[in-house]
Amino acid sequence: MEKATRPFALSCQSNESVGGLLKAVNGLFAERGFATTQAWLPEQDIAASKTLVIRVVPGRINTIVYKEERQPHKGFFPRMRELSGNVAKSTSLSEFVQRADAWLEGIDDDLERLTLLPPSARIALTSTIAKNDVLHVDRLQDTLDSLNRVPSNKAKAELMPGQRPATSDVQITNRVDDAFRLYGGYDTESIEGVDKLRFGITAEKDNLIGINDMWGLTLKSGIETNELSGNIAVPVGRATMRLKGDWSENMIDLGPLSELFMTTWNVSAGADWIVHSSRTERLVADFSVAHREQNRYINGVGLMDQRVSPLQAGLTYSRFFERASLSARIGASQGLSIFNARDDADDIDASTPHSQFTKLDASLSGSYVFPGHASVTSSLSTQWAATALYSDEQMTIGSRSSVRGYSNGSFKADQGAVWRNEVAFAMPVDWLLGKSGSSTQSDSQGPVQVSASPSEWARSSLSRLNPYLFLDAGLGRDIANEVTGYRVGSGVGLRYGGPRLSFDLGYAFRIAEDHRSQRVSEEKGELFMSMRLKVF
DSSP string, 22-81: HHHHHHHHHHTT-TT-EEEPPS--HHHH-----EEE--EEEEEEEEEE-PPP--HHHHHH
* 230 domain residue, yes or no: no
Question: What local confidence, expressed as pLDDT, does residue 237 receive?
Answer: 86
Q: What angle do CA 339, 344, 346 make, to 5 degrees?
A: 140
Pick the last residue of a domain from 18, 42, 58: 58
Residues 68 and 47 placed together within one structural domain of the fold? no
Between the alpha carbon of residue 317 and those of residues 79, 285, 328, the distances in Å are 47, 9, 5
Question: What local confidence, expressed as pLDDT, does residue 99 receive?
Answer: 85
Pick the last residue of a domain from 43, 58, 73: 58
List the domain range (segments joined by +) for residue 66.
62-176
Residues 110 and 53 placed together within one structural domain of the fold? no
What are the strands, taking DSSP E only, across 140-257? 153-161, 167-176, 180-187, 190-191, 194-195, 198-206, 214-221, 225-236, 239-255
Residue 446, Ramachandran bin (φ over 0: left; ψ between -120 and 50: alpha; else beta): left
Pick the last residue of a domain from 343, 378, 393: 343
* 328 domain residue, yes or no: yes
* 54 domain residue, yes or no: yes
Residues 399 and 529 placed together within one structural domain of the fold? yes
Residues 25 and 149 placed together within one structural domain of the fold? no
Residue 246, Ramachandran bin (φ over 0: left; ψ between -120 and 50: alpha; else beta): beta
Count how many domains the chain has.
4
- Over its length of 536 residues, how does the chain's per-residue pLDDT go in tens digits? 555 555 555 455 555 666 667 777 777 777 778 888 888 777 777 667 667 777 888 889 999 999 999 888 888 888 889 889 988 888 877 788 788 888 888 888 888 999 999 999 989 888 888 888 888 888 888 899 999 999 999 999 999 998 888 889 999 999 999 999 999 998 876 544 444 667 899 999 999 999 999 999 999 988 888 899 999 999 998 899 999 999 999 888 887 888 889 999 999 999 999 999 888 999 999 999 999 999 999 988 888 889 999 999 999 999 999 999 999 999 999 999 999 899 989 889 999 999 999 999 999 999 999 998 999 999 999 999 999 999 889 999 988 889 998 887 888 999 999 999 999 999 888 787 777 654 444 444 444 444 344 467 778 888 899 999 999 999 999 999 999 999 999 999 999 998 889 999 999 999 998 876 545 566 788 888 899 999 98
Query: For the segment 164-207, what is each residue's pLDDT rounded down to a tens digit?
Result: 888 899 999 999 999 999 999 988 765 444 446 678 999 999 99
Give the C-alpha separation, 525 to 160, whole Å. Answer: 61
Element (H, E) at 116: none
* 311 domain residue, yes or no: yes
Question: What local confidence, expressed as pLDDT, does residue 454 receive?
Answer: 46
pTM of structure = 0.82
Residues 46 and 71 placed together within one structural domain of the fold? no
Q: Are strands 306-320 and 301-302 parallel, antiparallel or unpaired?
A: unpaired
Residues 274 and 332 placed together within one structural domain of the fold? yes
Q: What angle do CA 426, 427, 431 make, to 5 degrees?
A: 130
Residues 375 and 480 placed together within one structural domain of the fold? yes
Question: What local confidence, expressed as pLDDT, does residue 4 receive?
Answer: 55
Q: What is the residue type of 167?
A: T
* 279 domain residue, yes or no: yes
User: Which DSSP state fits 8?
Assistant: G
Residues 82 and 51 placed together within one structural domain of the fold? no
Residues 524 and 381 placed together within one structural domain of the fold? yes
Question: What local confidence, expressed as pLDDT, does residue 12 receive?
Answer: 58
* 258 domain residue, yes or no: yes
**By C-alpha distance, which of 211, 57, 15 is closest to 122?**
211
Residues 93 and 128 placed together within one structural domain of the fold? yes
User: Which DSSP state fits 135?
Assistant: P
Question: What local confidence, expressed as pLDDT, does residue 304 receive?
Answer: 86
* 200 domain residue, yes or no: no
* 372 domain residue, yes or no: yes
Residues 39 and 79 placed together within one structural domain of the fold? no
Between the alpha carbon of residue 25 and those of residues 30, 137, 140, 326, the distances in Å are 9, 17, 22, 33
Residues 339 and 372 placed together within one structural domain of the fold? no
